[in-house]
Amino acid sequence: MSKLPVIAAVDGSEDSVRALDWAVDTARTREAPLKVVHVRQYAAWTQPGSPVVLPPGPAEDDILDAARAHLATLPDAPDTEYVGLDGAVGVILPELGDTAQLIVLGSRGRGGFASLLLGSNGIAVSRDAPCPVVVVPRPGREVDDAPEVEPGPRVVVGVKVDSPDDTVLDFAFAEAARRGARVHAVATYPWPVQVWTTPAAILPPALDQDAIADETRALTEDLLAPHRDRHPGVEATAFAVPGDAAGAIVAASKDAVLTVVGRHRRRLTAPAPMLGSVTQAALLHAASPIAVIPQPPEPTN
């Protein structure tokens, strides 16, 4: 059975060239084919009274021609298919996820406002695609309070000890194994803990922060154990960090090869796909490429 491809979305921007390079490297590590996709969106199609602008044919796609020329300069490029499609990027790319290992795109495209940290298409694809989505940010993102870590490649992954997601950890360990990296698992706990008694009165917590950190770390180690067994060559370290999960994951992303986060779980009160605040913060601010992992489908009876 042939392998599903890694999809690289291109639009001629520098951001999409960086994403293309990342996708090429990922296709190599997965021994998978590459599919370079350009979704051609023409505003004139949706504006009443605008002159009719016909899309170019597949042989006239300058964006795909540029991508083809770029890959010709790279050694050992994977088997590559070039596809031009017409329509809305945020709709078409997620639909392609049904037949892809993952989708890779840049954090900003050619349209919109250059000052924005993440384009609308990046948000839509990360939210809606049925496969993992990797967003490659522009270089030079600054993060605050980056932890001191040992040198060497790291895959950062956020861990929720109260609602663990094996799909996210599976992806993080597999990518670390492919890239010769170690796993940097970040779990957070609330601190300081405030105890309310009477109105306007707050007592200092009767809790030991070291004990909470140790318990959080121990729970994280338990969650990592089966993944260590499946990937014995991958070193993994659990970090228990006080405070905000989004801030801790973004801080850890500095100099990482990849940051892995999960998509928000669907609930009866919110059945539509959602990114979640932590995932959105990672997409907006993480310094490394960010992988957004969808929830597995619910089992059917």
| C-beta of residue 83 within 8 angstroms of C-beta of residue 9 | no
**CATH for the stretch 6-136:** 3.40.50.620
Angle, alpha carbons 38-96-170 (nearest 5°): 120
Q: Is 255 exposed, middle or buried (0-12, 13-18, 19+ CB in 10 A)?
A: middle
Are the C-beta atoms of 17 and 115 separated by less than 8 Å?
no
The Cα 160–Cα 185 span in angstroms is: 10
- The CATH 3.40.50.12370 portion of the chain extends over 154-293
Q: CATH top-level class for 154-293?
A: alpha beta
Over residues 226-278, the pLDDT tens digits come to: 999 999 999 999 999 998 899 999 999 999 999 999 987 554 444 445 678 88
pTM to 2 decimal places: 0.84
Which residues, in sequence order, are CB contacts of 232 under 8 Å at separation 6+? none
Which helix (H) or strand (E) covers residue 86, if one does?
Answer: strand 80-86
- CB count within 10 Å of CB 191 equals 14
Helix (H) or strand (E) holding 217: helix 209-230
CB 25 within 8 A of CB 52: no
Both tokens of residue 16? 């999409």
Continuous H helices in 31-165: 62-72, 89-96, 120-128
Q: What is the pLDDT along the chain (301 residues), one digit of tens a residue?
A: 479 999 999 998 899 999 999 999 999 999 999 999 999 875 444 444 444 444 444 457 899 999 999 999 998 889 999 999 998 888 899 999 999 999 999 986 554 444 333 567 788 899 999 999 999 998 888 888 788 888 899 999 999 998 888 999 999 999 999 999 999 999 999 877 655 555 655 555 557 888 999 999 999 999 999 999 999 999 999 999 998 899 999 999 999 999 999 987 554 444 445 678 889 889 989 999 999 999 876 655 5
**Beta carbons of 153 and 257 less than 8 angstroms apart:** yes
Q: Where in the chain is the domain with CATH 3.40.50.620?
A: 6-136
